[in-house]
Amino acid sequence: MADKDWKPNYDESRVPEYTLPEALALADGTRVTAAGTWLDRRRPQLMALFQEHVYGRMHGPVPGMRIEWMSAHHDVLGGLALRKELCVRFGEGADAPSMLVLVYLPAAARRPVPGFLTLNFRGNHSICADPGITLTRSWLPRDPDHGIVDHRATEAARGSRVDRWPVERILRRGFMLATVYYGDLDPDFDDGFRNGVHPLFDAPDAPRPPDAWGAIGAWAWGLSRALDCLEKDADVDASRLAVMGHSRLGKTALWAGACDPRFAAVISNNSGCGGAALSRRCYGETVGRITRSFPHWFCPRFREYAERESELPVDQHELIALMAPRPVYVASAAEDRWADPRGEFLSALHADPVYRLLGTEGLPTRDWPPVDHPVHGRIGYHVRTGGHDVKPYDWDQYMTFLEKHGLGPAAG
């Protein structure tokens, strides 16, 4: 189906009848009734299915990875913060792919400090007007949601996305914040996987197998490599870091959290199709639309389920269940129908039995909460006023959620 002939469904009465795969059913059809069976048998089965059918095979660290500490400056942001930057090089050569990691730590906090590890859309320099942040040298889009334009970062771009990054608010609450520009890892367009980190693993000019990883896999891989680095920083409590992402980077945060159990909590903000929303609902963005518009995000096999969502062997509630028993938060926005807020909630709801099997609170509601009424169990959820964005309201919920689960500064 051509995109010009396709129109999103925003009518609940037109959501098809569907049967979700059973998260607690083993491949032989028997039901998981013990925590050990989930951890030893069912969880690995689901991981294999998501790698084969949705995100592609995940890779481990690359040999020769080097960490170069670039700078550490105290008394930045009016004395509120310590700012660090480091460069991670994925290989020995001078032209090896690399990423810049920006770290802000609250100056007055007791060390080591817990907090957030995230990816950003416009370069590290875009999250804060701090003139000391290194400008990215990687590919940049003029608009991450429309078009492919390669251009260079300029001084004028400093702080251009502060609306999504309340850095001082986060620091004053005692959390640290680390971020990486996603374009350092893989430029966000269909370039045949010739740039970024893919060539480190893909055989040159060889056909890509159906389960080859896409951009989401590469971005998630980069988050794990950033965590490798933060584990070496005595100022950071890497054992209490939450991975957080918005939109396509919310999909990435979920996949990173599934693949890497070192992340203490996982936060998805408006991640929609291929993220927290159930694929089988076919509401808003669908598998067909997302794989036509962004074929580079997922493994090639995922495209086979365009307009055939019911044939997927997994659905996104099982992705959320892969975080269990770690805290996981799913956030929606009332006007973001494209991301299917109800479908995001239903994924959280249907992951609940796995959390309860593992002895946790799970999601403490059966009903979709009213707008701006968050629920904070071991699975957290809110749908806030407004559209597709990240707001201070969202960040406030995430910090409260982490504090509840012993991942805030007061618990250190």
Could you give the residue numbers annotated as active site?
A: 247, 388
The Cα 192–Cα 300 span in angstroms is 12
Torsional sign, CA 359, 365, 371, 372: negative
The strand pairing partners of 332, in sequence order, are: 383
The Cα 81–Cα 72 span in angstroms is 11
